[in-house]
Amino acid sequence: MCREIEGRRQCGQIRKIIDFEKSRMLKNRTIAVSCHGYLVEDVSVLNAYCEMDQTKNACESGCINYGKKWSCPPYSRRFTDISGHYRKAVLLVFRTKMEYYSDVKNKYTALKAANVTLKSLIEKCARMIEKQENGYALLSGSCRLCKKCSCRSKQKCRKPDAMRYSMEATMLNVEKICSGLAGIKLQWYQNGTLPEYTSTVSMVLLNDEVKPEELADKVYHMI
């Protein structure tokens, strides 16, 4: 797998098209957000990262939203069922260092605050790319369009046209995608210890040709 991915990088099928860091002013602090984007010329390369049993089991045993949101397993669609309609993909990875939240006494609260900011930014960018490039976005985390998902009351989704799945919900192994395609190691909160940085990841599936410089400029101005 590593040799195959390296070969695809060398022949230009996987290439970095977004790479910048920008300051973002929040209500009570200013953070630096590192933004990385990768163009995958052949979306089928991502099928190798679709791990049905392992990802489904992780969701079922470790996520409170399992079976409680239409965007989550077991109701979410498989990646291969969605990707068959598209030729390319843009992978987005946004990161920020936890040192910007050093004043927050509760470490887990600090991590949640950082992730809320990153998820909001990356979703805004992914939906922008989806709209302008006629694509389909896979976002970070479960759908947050409704205060309470109608799935809990066994009713139909209220916003089916706007609801999007996360990458994990489609059975993709996001950690392996980031390390294998982007060379980025995701870090986690473990044993009460904060990681050096936290990351959020999204993807947009596309058919149209991408103009890298134009896309990078649009993302930059949304941060």
pLDDT in tens, 53-74: 888 888 888 888 999 999 999 9
Q: pLDDT category, 136, cuts 50, 70, 90?
A: very high
Q: Cis peptide leading into 74, omega within 30 of 0?
A: yes
Closest of 192, 198, 25 to residue 106, by C-alpha: 192
Is residue 1 pLDDT above 50, yes or no?
A: no
> Quick one: pLDDT at residue 10?
39
Q: Where are the domains of the chain?
A: 2-220
Q: pLDDT category, 222, cuts 50, 70, 90?
A: very high
Half-sphere exposure of 35 toward its Cβ, with a 13 Å CA cutoff?
A: 27
pLDDT in tens, 161-173: 999 999 999 999 9
Place of tokens 């990385």: 36
> Quick one: pLDDT at residue 77?
94
> Quick one: pLDDT at residue 58?
83
Q: Are 50 and 77 in contact (CB under 8 A)?
A: no
Per-residue HEC secondary structure of 40-92 comes to ECCHHHHHHHECHHHHHHHHHHHCCCCCCCCCCCCCCCCHHHHHCCCCEEEEE
Rounded to whole angstroms, how far apart are CA atoms 126 and 84? 19
Burial 75-94 (b: 16+ CB within 10 A, else e): ebebbeebbeebebbbbbbb
> Quick one: pLDDT at residue 9?
52
pLDDT in tens, 92-114: 999 999 999 999 999 999 999 99
